[in-house]
Amino acid sequence: MISVFKNFSFRIIELIPLLLLFYISLSGNSVIHLNFFTVNIHYILIYYWVLKQPRTIGYGFIFLSGIITDVIFGLPIGATALSLLIVSAVAAYARAVTVRINLINDWLTFIPALLFANFVYFIVLHLLDFSIDYISLFKNSIFTFIFYPVLWVIFSILLRFMKS
């Protein structure tokens, strides 16, 4: 009986990143708005978990999360989903070519993920004649990059807890 409960509790703990992904999407809080800056925790969450433990958050869940975010924010359907899939593709590539994963390597490979994702996001919104705030998108990218180590530490603690 105890082993069944232990197995069940481990499964619940293993679902925390997926539940957090959908909570972020459904609540409309994919971007943290503070006084001067915004941080896109959607990108950080997806990049970290696809890089460290890809089976935790699947690509279908990432796509569905992006579609939900587009509906909540009133964006063209697929814009956020495509940018989230770009982030996960760069993370999968970085996982394949990186021998030793640490904070510095993760942080530096997060730069191309942000650049490609925001470029695709910008192109999709531009082609669909959707208004774009360039300064806001730039500040969001910069502060998302700066805030990455903080969430990396938090997610690493959660990952260690999941493995123990």
pLDDT per residue as tens digits for the range 93-148: 999 998 777 889 999 999 999 999 999 999 999 999 888 888 888 888 899 999 99
The most confident of 6-15, 62-71, 125-134, by mean pLDDT:
62-71
pTM: 0.88
- Per-residue confidence (pLDDT) for residue 12, from 0 to 100: 78
CA separation for the pair 35, 28 (Å, rounded): 18
Domain ranges of the chain: 16-163
Model pLDDT, residue 83: 95
pLDDT in tens, 33-63: 666 778 888 999 999 999 998 888 989 999 9
* CATH 1.10.1760 assigned to 16-163: yes
> And the tokens for 93?
């590539």
Tokens standing for residue 56:
């935790």
- Are 21 and 127 in contact by the 8 Å Cβ rule? The answer is no
**Cα separation values, 18 from 14, 56, 87, 118, Å:** 8, 7, 16, 23
Q: What is the DSSP letter of 54?
A: T
Alpha carbon dihedral 36, 138, 93, 82, in 10-degree steps, equals 100
